[in-house]
Structure 1
Amino acid sequence: MVFTKVLLVLPFMVAVWAWFCFNKRSKSRRQRSAQLCPGPYPFPLIGNILQLGRNPHQSLEKLSKTYGPLMSLHLGSIYTVVVSSPEMAKEILQKHDLVFSSRTIPAAVQSHDHHKNSIGLLPVGNKWRDFRKICKEQMFSTQHLEASQGLRQEKLRKLCDYVQECCVKGRVVNIGEVAFVTTLNFMSATLFSVDFTNFDSDTTHEWKETMEGLFAIVAAPNFADFFPLLKKFDPQGIKRRADLYFGKLLSMFENVINQRLESRRTHSDTSFKKDLLEGLLELSEGSEYDLSPKVMKHLLLDLFNAGTDTTASTVEWALTELLRNPNKMSIAKNELITVIGKNIRVKESDISKLSYLQAVIKEVLRLHPPAPLLVPRKSEVDVEINGYIIPKNSQIFVNVWAIGRDSSIWPNPNTFEPERFLDSKIDFKGQDFEFIPFGSGRRMCPGLQIADRMLLIMVASLIHNFNWELEPGTKQEELDIREKFGLALHKEVPLKALPVKP
């Protein structure tokens, strides 16, 4: 598939060959005395693009075994460095964090100027710091997390009621879809005080299709990124499709903002719910932040996307691994029954007592990190790492998927063993570089705390008072665990399972 696309855009690529050669020569003087990172030999024009494959995190992990934990690739005109060890990740994300704090900006995320108002893509500066401060104070602080527990409990109650209904009717449950509905409604209620969809609703499919489509198109290899002179031609149509996905979501958020503004104008005495939108509108009335409706809708889009698809996909992977390992499922269920009891709703205050379930979630994040290459970074200046020069404007991939499956760090790395975390102090808070599914440093995921709570409580709710059987006709050893690469790491084949009462 990728090779076919190369052939289709070959005429455009030939047109930029002269530019590419000139660009290489312009760097030769600086690089002559420097040793660049080792890597596979690049083909003319396309460099190492074909070696990315359908699942780049897996392809790059294999290549790193030959070329080492600091490996270079030429993706068209983009010099890229791939980090595949805890030691090199620490150098990049901690020791030289500021140097590598910027982002590469693919053409797809430039749709509707999203990159100019995105907390995940903005360069480190005043605007980015303002966004981080707003998110922490309005959504991710301990005070706000404690205050929003009731909201999460309400969404979990609806989840359990739906699973109970399927149990009574003998219907299989699409685990990824119900997790998606739960996280989608939690995020929409947190941001706007409304539920966006329901279980078994046509709108669920529409939302899932839109968000997965957006994530897939942003993560797709784009020749307009590899060869900037092709940008205005958009040879694969990626920018056009990104315009549609971004436009659809931004338009929806704009409508919600306008409706709230109109309600505030016509019902001045109404006490609005203290959701994130209301907090942003109140902040916009002061002089501390530049928060126009345009800026707000992009910030809300970032939070909405980051908090929905990745959480849902991780819950699906957790149930997949537990169904593949019935003995681990039994241990997790017994812990829940012992600590909480039967027929009792799991509460967030119970989480600290559920050591095995915490280990289960950590093991799932080790094997199936939500963003296997994290969000790519960019070097601001030339910098020497481990004896190699990483030139200015290099793109940096941190392959946390490869680090999580390194046999020199993790015994039996491809085996699901939550027990490895029971007597370990390793955590995913960004200080243990052998386990950084949420990144590290100033650009690590700002919503880590809320993601951790949602993952634990949702998995606990699904397995506490239900037994699960695979979809009729599916054998345990045949359970599909193939991955589909994107901004979130999905199962290629959705998990469907039958809930039954113990």
Structure 2
Amino acid sequence: MAQTVMRTHDHVFASRPPSIAADILLYGTKDVAFAPYGEHWRQERKLCAMHLLSTKKVQSFRHAREEEVSFVIEKIRKAQEYSSGPINMSELLHSFANDVICRVVSGKFYRKEGRNDMFRELIEKSSALISGFHFEDFFPVLYWLDFISGFASKAKKIAKKWDDVLEEVIKEHCNSNRLKDSMQESDFVDVLLSLQNDLHIEFGLTKEHIKAILQDMFAAGTDTSYITLEWAMTELMRHKESMRKLQAEVRRIAGEKEIVKEEDLIEMSYLKAVIKEILRLHPAVPLLLPRESMKDCQIKDYQIPKRTRVIINAWAINRHPKFWCATEEFHPERFMGSSVEYKGNDFQFIPFGAGKRICLGMSFAISTMELILANLIYHFDWELPYGVMKEEIDMTEAPGITVRKKEKIYLVPKLYVHV
């Protein structure tokens, strides 16, 4: 059924249902993720695919990713020197994902300014608003209840904060000598500003479009990567044999390097299998983003009327016993030698969606997750806090448009000495 919606009738179900929260936060949904289907959305998506998230552009941020990974490893080493106690891995991974996306989207030195923390706060509040229940989305005539509940006022305050911080970022990037003076790498804002006056762009790329696109990048780039990494470390701690197998592969291929580099990842087949298994068991966006039909459509024996909201349950599909053995078990070996991929062609495995609305940031996310996970496994042996058994790890999920662990995970790092 998912294949029918996202491939056979993809042209019918390529739009998004209206969302009052997205409308307020994203300048009338001038972004890519929540914008309704149309020529404007097609042009904006094409721009992002070609200039922001192409394979070439993702590779150009390789140095930035490796530098941020080195920072995390050094941070863990210093924490270990001062204390032998557990560290909050959830917080660490969240900070890492946010720092990487802040760097490639808006600049290099924002960690010191505290702006990264501001972005994290805005992302969390925006996500809560978008994933919440709002009367106007389902009962348009009751729109006034959203004002009585205080939702509209809260959303407008968050939107104003987003606008203020993004306006500041854009002003900083408008300095034509910024890159020359600081030797700073070109980031997403630089690219979007350079395209704003490009005569080859077939639609008006306004400042509001740029801000809406940047919000998409910040939110999707932070939450999904951090959540996947958090579940990865959790599952590896619950399955020590998989942890040992992964460590053996990473340490064999990386040898005695100071840091695992991106070129090393090519050979790490078990690492890739671990990431796939996490995406299967714990897709960051389990119901994907909702679609809406643009005209009447026949699917099997059902007549689907125009403007029907469609939910794709990727979580259930990824665990369907027709396609997977031992569906509830963490078993990366199932992907070893398998041709099944997450790129939208194998509909039993769709953590990033499929069709016209497939996630554009898939390549960027995978590159980031593989690099940090390989280095965490390479540099440290990990243990649970004293007295905690693997059976006691809380696997409860927190509800939302993205699904993270309800309880944070704390681990004890032991520096691995390469001999």
Shared fold (TM-score greater than 0.5)?
Answer: yes
The 5-angstrom pairing of residues 244-393 of structure 1 reads 244-261=157-174, 263-264=175-176, 273-289=185-201, 290-342=204-256, 344-393=258-307
Relative to structure 1, is the Cα distance of residues 99 and 344 closer, same or farther in structure 2, using a 3 angstrom cutoff?
Answer: same
Q: Distance in 2 between matches of 1:327 and 1:113?
A: 45
Task: Confirm or deny: 8 A CA contact 1:166 1:499 kept in the other structure.
Answer: no
Q: What is the correspondence of 1:417-432 to structure 2 with a 5 Å cutoff?
A: 417-432=331-346
1:415 and 2:329 matched: yes
Q: Deviations over 1:172-202 (max 9, x none)?
A: 222222222222222222122224336xx97
The one-letter amino acid paired with 1:139 is: L
**CA RMSD in angstroms, aligned pairs only:** 2.1
Q: Secondary structure at the match of 2:351?
A: coil
Question: Is 1:211 paired with 2:109?
Answer: no
Contact 1:184 1:196 in 2 (8 A): no
Tell me what 2:6 maps to: 93
Partner-residue secondary structure (3-state), 2:311: strand
1:473-497: CA deviations, max 9, x gaps?
4221010111112222111001111
> Aligned ranges for residues 13-24 of structure 1 at < 5 Å?
none
Measured in 1, the distance between the counterparts of 2:224 and 2:180 equals: 39
Comparing 472-481 with 417-426, which one deviates more in the overlay? 472-481
Q: 8 Å contact 1:356–1:418 — kept in the other structure?
A: yes
Q: 1:273/1:463 Cα in 2 relative to 1: closer, same or farther (>3 Å)? A: closer
1:331-363: CA deviation from partner (whole Å, max 9, x where unpaired): 100111111124531111111211111110000
Gaps of 5+ in 2: none
SS at match of 2:288: coil
Q: Please state if 1:223 is matched with 2:101.
A: no
Counterpart for residue 30 of structure 1: none
Q: Closer, same or farther in 2 for the Cα pair 1:156/1:379, shift >3 Å?
A: same
Shift of 1:108: 1.1
Q: Aligned letter for 2:142?
A: L
Q: Name the amino acid aligned to 1:249.
A: W
Return the alpha-carbon distance in structure 2 between the equivalents of residues 236 and 412 of structure 1: 45
- Structure 1 residue 318, shift from structure 2 partner: 0.4
Quick one: which of 108, 111, 116 aligns to 2:21? 108
- Distance in 2 between the 1:238 and 1:414 partners? 38
Structure 1 spans left out of the alignment, 5+ residues: 1-87
Partner of 2:43: 130
1:49 match? none
Name the TM-score, length of structure 2 as normaliser. Answer: 0.92
Report the Cα distance in structure 1 between the residues aligned to 2:261 and 2:196, rounded to whole angstroms: 35
Cα distance in structure 2, aligned partners of 1:226 and 1:407: 33
The one-letter code matched in structure 2 to 1:91 is T
2: CA distance between counterparts of 1:272 and 1:346?
Answer: 24
Amino acid at match of 1:469: E
* 1:233 and 2:142 correspond: no
CA distance, structure 1, for counterparts of residue 10 and residue 198 of structure 2: 33
The residue that corresponds to 1:492 in the other structure is: 406
Greater Rg over alpha carbons, structure? 1
2:61 — aligned with what? 148
User: In the alignment, which of 390, 406, 413 is matched to residue 320 of structure 2?
Assistant: 406
Find the residue that maps to 2:186 and give its secondary structure: coil
Are residues 1:157 and 2:70 paired?
yes
Deviations 1:284-316, CA, capped at 9 Å, x for gaps: 123333222222111111111111111111100
Q: Give deviations 1:225-258, integer Å, cap 9, x for gaps.
A: 2211121331543333222333222321111112
User: Is the 8 Å Cα contact of residues 370 and 437 (structure 1) preserved in structure 2?
Assistant: yes
TM-score (norm 1): 0.78
Instruction: Give the aligned partner of residue 396 of structure 2.
Output: 482
Question: Contact 1:250 / 1:301 at 8 angstroms: preserved in 2?
Answer: no
Residues 109 and 242, structure 1, Cα contact 8 Å, conserved in 2: no
Partner of 1:68: none
* Paired residue secondary structure (1:408): coil
Change in 2 beyond 3 A, CA 1:115/1:376: farther
CA distance in 2 between counterparts of 1:268 and 1:498 reads 40
* 1:418-497 correspondence to structure 2 within 5 Å: 418-497=332-411
AA of the residue aligned to 2:281: L
- 1:138–1:202 distance in 2 versus 1, CA, 3 Å: closer
Distance (Å, rounded) in 2 between the aligned partners of 1:297 and 1:203: 16
Instruction: Say which SS state the counterpart of residue 145 (structure 2) adopts.
Output: coil
